[in-house]
Structure 1
Amino acid sequence: MKLTPLRSFVFVFASIACSSQTPPAVTPAPSPQPPSLSDTDWGRFRSERQSLSIPLPQGKLWRIDDHSSQWLDAVHTPTQCRVRARTWVAAKAMSLDRCEQEARSYAPDLPAVVQGSVIDTFESSEWFAPGFVSRVVVGIKEADRSRGTAEGYVLVFGVEAKRCLAMVFTATGAGPELGDRLNLGTKIAESTIVLSRLPGKGPLERVQVPNRE
């Protein structure tokens, strides 16, 4: 049978369509992993202005501002975990309560310690430097039920005679993720050193794990 040009085109198109194989199924790309703050690649940031040496996990991923305000302000870029710290010398000998009161007057946005939101609290005479007495409070600031996350904090005040130190770590996460971040925040504060006790150079010294050197 002789086909007209139009029927020839339809015949060829139909033949190709019938002989073509079913395309392979496309495997969906895996969902991107959420950013994390891991207990690796620690480095110390040395602040002569605050007289502190602060250890930071994944040290190169922090954006550190030690000039714009009276506080050192460090933000872990991938997760937005944040460390703020300030030291000062008062006019008279200080207690932990007076140190906290002054710190809150300098930074009213420090997390409020509300009954029922505190996970852990303790005092230590071994943090920062011999002679420093410190109070540590770990708690949950607020929850975002729509996202299933909460904001937590590690709040530290330390005193040695007239010298005061205030430090806060804040993080947001869900469940165990937030717990891990608060554990790292506690480790950051615990391993912070007052520079007058620490010889060395800065600003960022690589260390394997945080230690009191």
Structure 2
Amino acid sequence: MKVKVQSLDGKAVTGKDADIELKDEIFGLEARPDILHRVVTWQLANRRAMARAARERSDVARTGKKFGKQKGGGTARHGNRRAPIFVGGGKAHGPRARLFSQSLNKKVRALGLKTALSVKAAEGKIIVLKDFDIKDAKTSAMKVSLDKLGVTGALFMDAGKAEAFTKAVRNLPRMNVMPTAGANVYDILNHDTLVLTKAAVETLEARFNG
């Protein structure tokens, strides 16, 4: 699949860098909603923090001595101060420590990422730029450039950090910048457009070929 390489000002690049070939084994797979669902579920489950356990009767450090008579006190019969009815006692039926992380086969994760890239390519939602090099990290100037490209909400990926570009983009709504090392299914699907540099395309292809 051939894609026109553009520059940040919205103009097509001329010469030998005018086109880039996106490999069909990475950007041309058929849509697999079942694989995408499995990978996104795995991602979101692993983002959840561990549930913290509450202290129950056996976990509270209070005396176990019986503090009142069995009869004649006019109140209920309690064995010790650890009972949930008392202030400082253990919690009745409190939450238990729980891990929500899941495991997923490495091949399924790789297939999910390739499928997400293929879905964006099939929808025509992939833009390839020559690079993210800019002179000044100005958000106003960046908004003008992105308007020329027709980008209203996008995930930008480069092989490096692109610090100046990141500073210019980060205050714009629905815009996020990520290195290719962090490429994942959820963020790709969660953005309307995927904007890649030539270096990012090469890095992604090398990642799967390796």
Q: Same fold (TM over 0.5)?
A: no
More helix by share: 2
More strand by share: 1
Instruction: Using structure 2 for the length normalisation, give the TM-score.
Output: 0.26
Instruction: Using structure 1 for the length normalisation, give the TM-score.
Output: 0.26
